[in-house]
Amino acid sequence: MSVVHVDELQAIEMPDGFVWRPVRRHFGIRAFGVNAYTALEPGGQIVEEHIESTLGHEEIYFVLRGRARFTVDGTEHELGPGQLVFVRDPSLKRSAVALDDDTVVLALGGKPGEPHTVSAWEAMFAAVPASREERWDEAIAIHEEALTEQPDHAALLYNLACMEARGGRHVDALLHLSRACELEPKWAAHARTDSDFAAIRHEPGFPV
């Protein structure tokens, strides 16, 4: 058993301006997906604009505290505590901004009809603070842990390669980048212009 108050959860500020409060990861929950989000200031992003088509998730966004303005499928809705938006259709674009300085939104989601699998983006989000401070070993370890469960996840492999390239592990970077490109050829195009690979771009084995 473990207990935490939402304000005590780790606060990971994302490059897009919203703050991820990892709930599932905090407790090590394996059976379902749940996270909390806060904003840096009123008017700030609290749910990033996204769709769920790739993962096929149904999602519930529940306002735990404060107020938020959601935009779902192009329509705005202002929601207060105890209100929620259920996005059944994964292809609908959704986002939200906080309207109060203490707004908290809980996001619950998963794919119907399948056992829950931990979303790969959680590891990428969790590695953000370490990457920001160039603690590459830590960022790499977070990716490696996620890859033990999803060894053929191309985006995770690509991200891992980025961090290995930045951290001076050039052989590992080339290996993981090649594997990512093999699984999803689109990553080769990204790699050619990605500044993370500056140090290995001219190595033999770099995907061209």
Binding site for other proteins (CB under 8 A): 1-7, 9, 23, 27, 29-34, 57-58, 60, 62, 64-65, 72-73, 77, 79, 81-89, 92, 94, 104, 106, 108-116
Closer to other proteins by Cβ: residue 39 or 72 = 72
Minimum distance from residue 58 beta carbon to other proteins (Å): 6
Distance, in Å, from the CA atom of 164 to the CA atom of 46, rounded to the nearest integer, reads 30
Question: Whose Cβ is closer to other proteins: residue 57's or residue 169's?
Answer: 57
Rank residues 29 and 171 by Cβ distance to other proteins and give the closer one: 29
What's the rounded Cα separation, in Å, for the pair 124 and 131?
10
- CB atoms near residue 141 (< 10 Å): 14
**What is the C-alpha separation between 29 and 21, in angstroms, rounded?**
14
Question: C-beta of 7: minimal distance to other proteins in Å?
Answer: 6
* 108 vs 154 by CB, closer to other proteins: 108
CA distance 24 to 30: 8
- Report how far residue 108's alpha carbon sits from residue 32's, in angstroms, rounded to the nearest whole number: 8
Sign of CA dihedral 123, 46, 19, 189: positive
- Short-list 89, 105, 80, CA closest to 18: 105
Tell me how far, at minimum, the Cβ of 105 lies from other proteins, in Å.
12
Nearer to other proteins, 62 or 158 (CB): 62
Helix pair 136-149, 154-166: axis angle to 10 deg:
160
Smaller CB separation from other proteins, 24 or 176: 24
For the CB of residue 84, give the shortest distance to other proteins in the complex, in Å. Answer: 6
Rounded to 5°, the CA angle 38-42-44 comes to 65
Give min distance, CB of 198 to other proteins, in A: 41
Tell me the closest approach of the beta carbon of residue 98 to other proteins, in angstroms.
Answer: 16
